Amino acid sequence: MLDLPEAQRYVVVLLDGLGLANLMDDPSLTPALGGLDAMELAVGLPSTTAASLTSLITGVDTAQHGIVGYSFRSRPGVVMHTMTWDDPQCRPEDAQPMATWFERLNLPTAAVVPQIFATSGLTRAVLRGADFIGVTDEKNWQARAEQAAQVVANHPLTYVYERSLDHIGHLRGWRSHAWRRQLARVDGFIRGLRETLPPSTGLVVTADHGMVDVPTTHRVVIEREPELIAGVDLIAGEARLRHLYTTTPDAVAQRWSRWWGARADVRIRALALPWFGENSPTDAVADRLGDVVVAIQGDWAALTTTRPAEASMTGLHGSTSVEECVVPLLKGLT
């Protein structure tokens, strides 16, 4: 049970990339977050934004909503990336058919999200039913707090999305000075929001995943290792949870298991299904999962040349570690 405070209205703030371990590393940076009642939550797999946001806003697991990773096979021979929704034949409302809380609740709801996402495929898949309120200047913390407070006054349920920690974590790593400075800024935003919200508002702050810093010496490029690329037709997912599509799954799984050893948990699809939820997926969702699914362990990563940006990332997520899967749930009342 979440045991939320009784309130006239609620605002749920999603801080992208703030795992519980990341938050607790230096509590001196987060006096406002530290002043809220705290509990911990476990996110489903993959521990990545597209999947976790969809689970949060639909209330179902990955196997049911079907957003099985940052990228997945949307049709034969095609890998679709959820952040850009680059397969025009994959209609968001069909790819994610589960009703959102915004659609199910018989009351006004709103999503305060960067304006750049107003017409994105993921917005259509996940934020259906909410009034979309665009944030045009993400660095103006005071204006954002005031904008959110105005929206909350007219909506019994408001969702607010903040993405900067994830962005800096990917580029610099969550242990970097830049990430720590940004965490302090985000904490200031939460303080300002709580001070600005109307009375008797329940404030809930949570996250979609945590993050692991991966050293350059532990970043393996799949296409450069003959034993890893052999038999693999398509690569999707993310660098710490890979979907591999192949006509020879047993052989690929054996080679990957032998090459990675204890550094990866390698499973054919049938054995990987429990990772994605208690319920069996539909045939359409099952086809999005890799024929082989690989959860990278420790501080390692499996990169692909089909996504060059991965090579520049320090902070990564998606796999099964506590650091990636356990997030805070913080709550308070204005």
Pairing of strands 157-162, 109-114: parallel
Distance (Å, whole) CA 320 – CA 323: 8
pTM recorded for the entire structure:
0.96
Ramachandran angles phi, psi of 27, nearest 5°: -60, -20
| One CATH from 3.40.30.10, 3.40.50.300, 3.30.210.10, 3.30.1360.180 for 216-316 | 3.30.1360.180
d(CA 213, CA 51) in angstroms, rounded, equals: 21
pLDDT value for 1 = 63
- Provide the 8-state DSSP code for 100: P
Give the tokens for residue 30.
Answer: 């987060």
User: What Cα–Cα distance (Å) separates residue 208 from each residue in 118, 219, 227?
Assistant: 20, 23, 33
The residue-averaged pLDDT of 183-199 equals 97
Question: What does pLDDT average to over the chain?
Answer: 97
CATH 3.40.720.10 intervals, the chain: 9-211+320-333
CB count in 10 Å sphere of residue 217: 8
> Which of 18, 325, 47, 319 minimizes the C-alpha distance to 163?
18
Predicted local confidence at residue 293, as pLDDT:
98
Instruction: Please state the separation of Cα 276 from the chain's center in Å.
Output: 14
Q: What is the pLDDT of residue 3?
A: 81
R_g (Cα) of the chain, nearest Å? 20
Distance CA 208, CA 43 (A): 7
Q: What fold does the segment set 9-211+320-333 form as a domain?
A: Alkaline Phosphatase, subunit A (3.40.720)
User: DSSP secondary-structure letter at 254?
Assistant: H
Name which of 39-43, 120-124, 173-177, 277-281 the model is least confident about.
277-281
Where, residue-wise, is CATH 3.30.1360.180 in the chain?
216-316
CB 51 within 8 A of CB 68: yes
CA distance 239 to 319: 9
Share of the chain above pLDDT 70, in %: 100
Q: How many helices (H) and strands (E) does the chain have?
A: 15, 17
What does the pLDDT read at residue 325? 98
Give the distance between the most distant pair of CA atoms in the chain: 61
**If pLDDT is split at 50, 70 and 90, which confidence band does 5 have?**
confident
